[in-house]
Chains A and B, each alone.
Chain A
Amino acid sequence: MAKNAEIVSIQKVHKDYPLDKVVVKALQGVDLTVHQGDFLSIVGPSGSGKTTLLNLIGCVDVATSGTVLIDGHDTKTLSDRQLTDLRLETLGFIFQSFNLVPVLSVFQNVEFPLLLQRRLTRDERAKRVDALLAKVGLDKHSKHRPSELSGGQRQRVAIARALVTRPKIVLADEPTANLDSVTGETIIDLMKEMNRSLKTTFIFSTHDAKVMGHANSVVRLADGRIDGRKAKAGKH
């Protein structure tokens, strides 16, 4: 089976964090390639560099050295504004703590990235948001505030927000960490479903064995280095 196009290409990436007088080496020469449509899980113990790696792929941080190519863009060469636009157009984020805007309704939270894009009309936006909310099973909660929802429901809103701009990549940092196992399972199922139906690349970090079981490719990190990569046959 032919491989899909490379959407993320990381080569010899180092990331250092100065901490007082010591330098913490979060990533030490990481090489990673992700193809479009992957459902990739990054696993490893705490402090292994999972979140740092996701930050670099998500263009919210830059590498100390090495190359990070996102959809063909070398993030090191981009300005803050270009990185922002890249995030808006190419990436979607799902956070461990959901990170919804508390004063906005479910609908408005999901609509927010579309408003930043300033591309669709009001009706088009409404149509797309409603469709996505229906897909994540929250069509009846569109007027609720995040505080009126359960943890699982909030994460569904976050998933809808991450997908609403139809990004090529969705990054999820420990998306089930704050959820009970049953809810976590359904959230992963939902992500998987989206991956299947929309062909969106999902890269998520986790240290939950059950969750990583759903991934078609698992990258193991230890001490800032790739400790191995395992692809599940037939999943791709």
Chain B
Amino acid sequence: MTHIPHNRWRPATTEPALVRWALIVLCLAMLAILLVAPLMVVFDEALRRGWAFALASLSEPDAQAAIRLTLLVAALTVPLNAVFGIAAAWAVTKFDWRGKAWVITLIDLPFSISPVVAGLLFVLMFGANSALGAWLVAQGFPIVFAVPGIVLATLFITFPFVARELIPVMLEQGRAEEEAALTLGASGWRTFLTVTLPNIRWALLYGVLLCNARAMGEFGAVAVVSGKIRGQTTTMPLMIEMFYNEYLSVAAFTMAGVLALLAFVTLTLKTALEWRYADQLAASHRH
């Protein structure tokens, strides 16, 4: 019997150990350069003059107003998007109708449109040079260069997030459970709340997490519609740009650090969902 030393033996479906480790090291080095370094530099720059200085920059009135506005925009956008996502997923997965593919394409469209163009759309529609915009301004309800415009642009940018998560999950789950509930006499709402919602809650949360991260961090679309009025229409990402252009480096990077922490929390929760509830998320997140 020939003896095969087991440290030399390798299955036919993998690469030599040397190649494997070279590729692993290459990938880790690239990720360190591309992802970790930018994250670290944010905190390094923010804390360049100490914690007290960094935190003081956050308590400035303009910075406070920006934080409040970003929270307000997210609080308005995310629930609206969740409602849209649930309605769209219900209409698409529980019924058979013509034109479904077109509607799904339309829902995904905002992902392939530049944020700047998204902002432009609402300036054209509601800006002072359009009839509708001029009328709204006369009524004392301006949309562009005001909070409603920021909310609309953010809604556009984040539009597909919840629907995209829910549609594949609900397609996979089928209609049998809902049909059973209806046969047993449950009302439509009761069926949704006690049968559908528990089945899709983690996918919904997943979509909401991503939607919220984008809503709080959106820059291009909001920059176009906001008019960047300090303390009034300046969200956190816009405030970062203002501080940065005014050479207030610590203030810019401290605000960036707050948003980086938000990104960190988003990633952590998202990963926790993927590890724990993978079977209840869209198939593309399972690994």
A, B assembled together: no
